[in-house]
Amino acid sequence: MAALTDSLDRQATPAELTERYESVRRASNGLGANLSDADATVQSMPDASPAKWHLAHTTWFFETMILRERDPGYRPFDDTYNFLFNSYYESVGERQPRPKRGMVTRPALDEVMAYREYVDEAMSRLLEDGPSEDVVELIELGCHHEQQHQELLLTDILHLFAQSPLKPAFKDPQPLAVEVRDAAPVSFETFDGGIVDIGHQGEGFAFDCEGPRHRALLEPYKLADRLVTNGEFIEFIEEGGYRDPLLWLSSGWADILENGWEMPFYWEKRDGEYWSMTLRGFQPVDRSAPVTHLSYFEADAFAAWAGKRLPSEAEWENATKGLSMDGNYVDSGRLRPRPASVEGDGLRQMFGDCWEWTRSAFSAYPGFRPVEGAVGEYNGKFMCGQFVLRGGSCVTPPNHIRPTYRNFFPPNARWQFSGLRLAEDN
């Protein structure tokens, strides 16, 4: 995921900043509350991290980027943690290799929680003293960084639990975990195109890769009013979409041949029915809900099969102007995408439910420059070989998303809540 901070539109009061910090930290603690030490330690694949590592790394960020640098009286909780919980900051020092984070069986989960409490107490003292403006910005960055890891913790736990023969639920299933609703017929909204302004405007928090704001030229285009559903993707599967090389980019077809992809990630077919692993356990696929856990290659192949294409990120962002950001986020407690409402006109599901693949490569906007220091390593060095996703998902915190937010993943990534919306030329 993404990045760094622009200036705040106004200086947050000490009480507001303290509440922001404490609420984010409480939310992370809540995600780890029902995990065993084993749940929190195991690493199910190199691209995923243990829950314990997420909880420690986000704490390490505040300790390393703020307390060690700005509090002369601060004493680190444990000097070895700088090696264990650094992620990719070359300027900060050596670190445990990412694929081997699951080898860190110690400290145990309860010790990590003690580490979190220790750093929180030090941060509380710093907040009481009234931090300078640059520290306020670092705290805001740290909060958004932690919210990114809250989402990653959930997607990584889903991947871990999917490997278990018991298919355990992160959150207990509920009678309405699958919402029975007919899918609304898809229609397309028309946009004139032209020269439009794209990127963050500099008011409020944003990661560095969301700016600078700049002009983009768009040809007239159309955008589907809702996300592609599981039912529509099942049609693609059953009409041989995974067996037709003419629909696929070359690298995607190579992944099919190498990995045997036949359906979205976490899906299985049992007794003629499609089932999927979810954060509420193994459940029947809801055909009217948005399809998720697709790679860029699968999203692009479906669009080709449907005679459409994926939108560019500029087209997607331009379409959000004037739209409400209400959506199905993590605070709904659903923890899976919800079918689109059949009521109302215009674009739906632009925020929440699932991240939407765009056809845009993750690269620098005109005029982008990484900032100096360790936090400058946050985004710029990842601007190669990845594609942009927009809109947030059912496990994204609601106060973490913006129309300009640029998520990014390699094109073969499938374990995220990633889906698609169709576009076409007008």
Q: In the structure encoding, which two tokens stand for residue 172, read together?
A: 């207990």
Distance CA 320, CA 200 (A): 13
pLDDT for res 254: 98
* pLDDT tens-digit map of 346-394: 999 999 999 999 999 999 999 998 877 666 656 678 899 999 999 999 9
Task: Classify the C-alpha dihedral 170-103-120-68 as positive or negative.
Answer: negative
Instruction: Look up the pTM and report it.
Output: 0.94
Q: Residue 6 above 50 pLDDT?
A: no
Q: Residue 401 above 70 pLDDT?
A: yes
pLDDT for res 377: 56
Q: Residue 175 above 70 pLDDT?
A: no
In this prediction, residues 399-417 reach a mean pLDDT of 97
* pLDDT tens-digit map of 101-117: 999 999 999 999 999 99
* pLDDT tens-digit map of 178-199: 555 667 789 999 999 999 999 9
* pLDDT tens-digit map of 285-323: 999 999 999 999 999 999 999 999 999 999 999 999 999
Distance CA 380, CA 143 (A): 20
* pLDDT tens-digit map of 259-273: 999 999 999 999 999
Q: What number of residues does the chain have?
A: 426
pLDDT for res 368: 93
> Do 245 and 133 contact (CB within 8 A), yes or no?
no
pLDDT for res 2: 38
**Please, which residues have CB within 8 angstroms of residue 377's CB and are 6 or more apart in sequence?**
88, 89, 90, 91, 370
Distance CA 205, CA 139 (A): 11
Provide the mean pLDDT of the chain. Answer: 92
